[in-house]
Amino acid sequence: MSWIILVLSGVLEAVWATALGRSEGLTRLGPTVLFFVAIAGSMAGLAYAMRELPIGTSYAVWVGIGAVLTIAYSMATGSESVSALKLLFLAMIVGGVVGLKAIH
């Protein structure tokens, strides 16, 4: 169950990071509210997962999922360019996250 919560928390990390960018310095109400709700849920889930999983592994997986999803969303919406090297490096992050799960 901790792994599922950790993955969901990583997804919420991507949500709050994206909302923060769209909030224009916390000046737009909708994205600002979404930012605070998502960051609270993300941190709570990370804290829950860390009760059973090692801190380093939990944090690396959480950040990796959040980073990959944030960049993928930015690429999908056209706010960030897509390149073969970026895709390769994102795949390396995903591989690292999967590897950490596999050895735990």
pLDDT value of position 58: 97
The pLDDT tens digits for 11-47 are 999 999 999 999 999 999 999 999 999 999 999 999 9
The pLDDT tens digits for 37-73 are 999 999 999 999 999 999 999 999 999 999 999 999 9
Count of structural domains, the chain: 1
Distance between CA atoms of residues 67 and 93, nearest Å: 9
Residue 87's pLDDT band, with cuts at 50, 70 and 90, is: very high
Q: Is 38 left (phi over 0), alpha (psi -120 to 50) or beta?
A: alpha
Domain containing residue 18? 2-103
Distance between CA atoms of residues 65 and 58, nearest Å: 11
What pTM did the predictor assign? 0.92
